[in-house]
Amino acid sequence: MKIKEEWFDWNDKFHVESKIQDKPQQDESKIIKYLKSGIPTATSMSIITDLFDDKKRVSTTAYTDTEWHWHDTLIYYVENYHYKISDDFIEHMRLNNWKVPKALKS
């Protein structure tokens, strides 16, 4: 099975701005909780600068639920700027009842 990735180019301000919304997307609190409960797969010593506030820093840890892969930069931008997650990934989270599978977390 190929892992899907929720692409987030933290160096491309235009890309990020194009997915920023004025208000939270539907189920955003559930999305954030799901993303934060992912299984860490790689921790980096890298810290990047927030594209919209150069006084804020964001880490770059990678997470998975065995089907999807994402970074905590994605979590940060969803939480702080209502970054729009792909519909496919949201549907995947919904089908998992907004919980990373328990078998993986044991």
**Mind listing the pLDDT tens digit for each residue in 5-19?**
887 777 788 888 999
pLDDT at 103: 60
Give percent of the chain above pLDDT 90. Answer: 66
Structure tokens at 66: 């065995």
Condensed to tens digits (0 to 9), the pLDDT of residues 56-106 reads 998 889 999 999 999 989 999 999 999 999 999 999 999 999 999 876 555
The dihedral through the CA atoms of 23, 46, 12, 56 has a sign that is positive
pLDDT at 104: 54
